[in-house]
C-alpha cells in the first residue's frame, strides 16, 4: 500500500544545505531527483523545463552533471541562479561582513527605527505583517541595498536571507496544501523593544548558515533560462539526455500567490495587475486577471488524445464553465510543451514527470493517464505512470511519476 512517503515531499529538503534556503510548498523531493539521476550515464545533460526553485539543477550539479533550467517566473530564475551559483571565499566574506554590520546594535537599521521607509504595494499588507515588523523589514531591505554591490554574489545571498525574514516575520502559515494566514489574535502587538535585536540576530545567523552551505563547491554546471516551457529552446550544444521535472498541477493552486511577497519586496512586481498578467502566461496560472481571461479563452480545436477527456470536461462544466476551461487549457499547453520538447532530446532520452491528479466537485481528473497519452501522441515510447505517494488532502489524490523514452 502506497503511503504519504515523507521522503518524497519537500520537507526533507529543508535540512539539505542550499535546498533549504527558501521554502516553497510546491517544491519536490531531493531524494526523488537523486534516484532518477542515478539511472543516467555520468556525462548526461539534463533539462528541467519547469524548474521552480531549481531543485533538479542543484541535485544535478551536486552529482557533477550539466543541467539547464527553464522557468517563466523572473523571481524563480533569479533564485535558482543564486542557489546553484559558485561562490568564492571573498564573496562569502563580503556577505558575512555586510550582515554583521547590519545586525550590529549601533547600525543605522536599529538606530533609525522611526524613519519612514518604502513598503511594497501589496493589497491588505496589514494581513501579512504587523506594522512594527513591516517597518523593520523595510529598514532591513534598505540596509541590504546599501551594504554590498548591487547584483554581486554577496548581495544576492543577503537578499535570500531577507526573503527568509520576510516570511518568518509574516502572518503566513504553511500547514495546508498552500499558504494561508494565521488568525490575528492581537498578540503580535505585544513585542517589546528587544525584538528587533532578536530579528537582526536571526538575519545574521541565516547569512552565516548560507555562507557555510554556499562554501561547498558544486561539481556540475547549471544554466538557468527565463523562458516558456511551451517553446523549449534547443541547448547550445547537442541535445538533452534526460528530463526530470515537476510541472504545475492542474489544481488551481497558483504559484504566484506564494511568490508575491518576495517578488514585491525585491522589485519583480511593481503593480498589482502584473501578478495576474504573469500568471496567465504560465501553464496552470489562475491568479487575478488570469481567471477572468479564462472566460474568453477558446481551445485550438485539436482534441486531447484521451478518450474520456470530453466527458471529464462535461462533468466539471456542470458545476463551473471556468474550471472546465482551466483544465482544457492546461492540457493543451502541456501537449504543446511535449511536442516542443521532443525535438531537443536525443534518441533514447528518458523523461520523468512528477505530477498529481486532481478532483473538481465529483469529477476525478486522472492527470497521470492523460500525460501518458499525451507523451505517446508526441512520439515517445514506453510511456507509463507509477504511483509515488498519497497526498495529504483528499483520499483520492496522489502523486505519480510519468516516464517515457524518446524513440
Task: Examine the domain organization and report whether 388 and 250 are in the same domain.
Answer: yes
Task: Examine the domain organization and report whether 123 and 30 are in the same domain.
Answer: no
Q: Quick one: 121 exposed, middle or buried, by C-beta within 10 A (0-12, 13-18, 19+)? A: exposed
Q: Nearest Cα to 383, choosing from 372, 374, 369?
A: 372
Is 141 a member of any domain? Answer: yes
| Strands annotated E in 237-367 | 240-245, 345-356, 358-360, 363-365
What average pLDDT does the chain have?
89
Q: Does 255 score more than 90 pLDDT?
A: no
Q: Does 187 score more than 50 pLDDT?
A: no
Q: Three cell numbers at 194?
A: 528587544
- Structural domain including 364 reads 6-86+218-406
Q: Nearest Cα to 113, choosing from 144, 145, 136?
A: 136
Is 178 a member of any domain? Answer: yes
Q: Does 26 score more than 80 pLDDT?
A: no
Per-residue pLDDT tens digits for 355-401: 999 999 999 999 999 999 999 999 999 999 999 989 876 788 999 99
Domain limit, last residue, from 214, 234, 260: 214
Task: Examine the domain organization and report whether 115 and 152 are in the same domain.
Answer: yes
> In the structure, what pLDDT confidence band is assigned to residue 258 with cuts at 50, 70 and 90?
confident
Task: Examine the domain organization and report whether 287 and 395 are in the same domain.
Answer: yes
Output the DSSP codes for 91-122: HHHHHHHHHHHHHSTTSHHHHTTTS-------
Task: Examine the domain organization and report whether 237 and 312 are in the same domain.
Answer: yes
Task: Examine the domain organization and report whether 309 and 392 are in the same domain.
Answer: yes
What CATH number is attached to the domain comprising 350?
A: 3.40.50.150
Write down the pLDDT at residue 239: 97
Per-residue pLDDT tens digits for 198-241: 999 999 999 999 999 999 999 999 999 999 999 999 998 899 99
How many domains does the chain divide into? 2
Q: Three cell numbers at 293?
A: 481571461
Output the pTM of the full model: 0.92
Pairing of strands 180-181, 172-173: antiparallel
DSSP code, position 178: S
Q: Nearest Cα to 167, choosing from 268, 282, 12, 21?
A: 21
Q: How far apart are CA 51 and CA 149, in angstroms?
A: 27
How many CB atoms within 10 Å of residue 341?
24
Write down the pLDDT at residue 195: 86
Range of lowest pLDDT (182-196, 200-214, 317-331): 182-196
Domain limit, last residue, from 214, 235, 250: 214
> In the structure, what pLDDT confidence band is assigned to residue 6 with cuts at 50, 70 and 90?
low
Q: How far apart are CA 329 and CA 324, in angstroms?
A: 9
By the 8 A CB rule, do 32 and 230 touch?
A: no
Is 363 a member of any domain? Answer: yes
**Chain Cα centroid distance, residue 223:** 16
Task: Examine the domain organization and report whether 304 and 345 are in the same domain.
Answer: yes
Q: How far apart are CA 391 and CA 283, in angstroms?
A: 22
Q: How far apart are CA 59 and CA 304, in angstroms?
A: 34
Per-residue pLDDT tens digits for 39-81: 899 889 999 999 999 999 999 999 999 999 999 999 999 999 9
The whole-number average pLDDT for the span 17-43 is 87
Q: Does 332 score more than 70 pLDDT?
A: yes
Is 152 a member of any domain? Answer: yes
Q: Does 289 score more than 60 pLDDT?
A: yes
Per-residue pLDDT tens digits for 146-178: 999 999 999 999 999 999 999 999 998 765 555
Task: Examine the domain organization and report whether 98 and 70 are in the same domain.
Answer: no
How many CB atoms within 10 Å of residue 376?
15
By the 8 A CB rule, do 327 and 279 touch?
A: no
Domain limit, last residue, from 214, 236, 269: 214
Share of the chain above pLDDT 90, in %: 73
Is 369 a member of any domain? Answer: yes
Task: Examine the domain organization and report whether 127 and 235 are in the same domain.
Answer: no
Task: Examine the domain organization and report whether 376 and 298 are in the same domain.
Answer: yes
Write down the pLDDT at residue 27: 65
Task: Examine the domain organization and report whether 203 and 344 are in the same domain.
Answer: no
Is 312 a member of any domain? Answer: yes
Q: What angle do CA 393, 397, 403 make, to 5 degrees?
A: 135
Is 333 a member of any domain? Answer: yes
Per-residue pLDDT tens digits for 83-126: 999 999 999 999 999 999 999 877 766 665 555 689 999 988 99
Task: Examine the domain organization and report whether 230 and 311 are in the same domain.
Answer: yes
Is 1 a member of any domain? Answer: no
Amino acid at each position: 500500500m502506497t503511503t504519504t512517503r515523507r521522503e518524497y515531499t519537500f520537507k526533507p529538503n529543508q535540512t539539505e544545505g542550499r535546498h533549504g534556503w527558501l521554502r516553497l510548498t510546491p517544491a519536490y523531493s531531493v531524494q526523488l531527483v537523486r534516484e532518477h539521476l542515478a539511472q543516467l550515464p555520468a556525462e548526461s545533460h539534463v533539462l528541467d523545463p519547469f524548474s521552480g526553485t531549481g531543485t533538479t539543477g542543484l541535485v544535478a550539479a551536486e552529482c557533477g552533471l550539466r543541467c539547464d533550467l527553464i522557468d517563466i517566473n523572473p523571481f524563480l530564475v533569479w533564485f535558482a541562479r543564486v542557489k546553484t551559483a559558485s561562490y568564492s571565499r571573498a564573496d562569502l566574506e563580503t556577505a558575512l561582513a555586510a550582515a554583521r554590520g547590519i545586525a550590529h546594535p549601533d547600525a543605522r537599521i536599529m538606530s533609525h527605527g522611526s524613519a519612514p521607509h518604502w513598503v511594497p504595494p501589496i493589497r491588505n499588507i496589514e494581513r501579512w505583517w504587523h506594522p512594527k515588523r513591516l517597518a523593520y523589514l523595510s529598514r532591513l531591505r534598505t540596509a541590504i541595498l546599501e551594504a554590498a554591490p548591487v547584483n554581486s554574489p554577496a548581495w544576492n545571498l543577503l537578499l535570500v536571507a531577507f526573503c527568509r525574514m520576510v516570511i518568518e516575520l509574516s502572518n503566513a502559515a504553511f500547514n495546508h496544501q498552500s499558504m494561508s494566514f494565521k488568525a490575528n489574535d492581537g498578540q503580535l502587538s505585544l513585542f517589546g523593544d528587544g525584538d528587533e535585536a532578536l530579528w537582526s540576530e536571526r538575519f545574521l545567523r541565516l547569512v552565516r548558515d548560507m555562507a557555510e552551505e554556499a562554501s561547498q563547491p558544486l561539481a556540475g554546471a547549471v544554466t538557468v533560462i527565463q523562458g516558456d516551457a511551451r517553446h523549449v529552446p534547443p541547448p547550445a550544444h547537442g541535445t538533452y539526455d534526460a528530463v526530470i521535472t515537476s510541472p504545475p498541477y492542474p489544481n488551481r493552486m497558483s504559484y504566484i500567490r506564494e511568490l508575491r511577497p518576495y517578488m514585491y519586496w525585491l522589485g519583480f512586481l511593481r503593480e498589482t495587475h502584473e501578478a495576474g498578467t504573469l500568471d496567465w502566461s504560465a501553464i496552470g496560472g489562475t491568479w487575478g486577471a488570469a481567471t477572468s481571461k479564462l472566460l474568453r479563452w477558446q481551445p485550438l480545436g485539436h482534441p486531447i488524445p484521451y478518450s474520456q477527456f470530453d466527458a471529464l470536461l462535461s462533468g466539471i462544466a456542470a458545476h463551473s464553465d471556468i474550471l472546465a476551461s482551466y483544465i482544457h487549457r492546461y492540457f493543451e499547453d502541456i501537449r504543446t510543451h511535449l511536442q516542443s520538447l521532443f525535438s531537443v532530446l536525443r534518441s533514447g532520452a528518458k523523461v520523468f514527470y512528477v505530477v498529481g491528479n486532481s478532483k473538481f466537485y465529483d469529477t476525478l481528473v486522472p492527470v497521470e493517464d492523460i500525460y501518458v497519452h499525451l507523451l505517446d501522441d508526441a512520439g515517445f515510447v514506453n510511456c507509463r505512470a507509477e504511483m509515488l505517494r498519497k497526498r495529504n488532502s483528499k483520499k483520492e489524490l496522489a502523486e505519480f511519476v510519468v516516464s517515457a523514452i524518446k524513440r
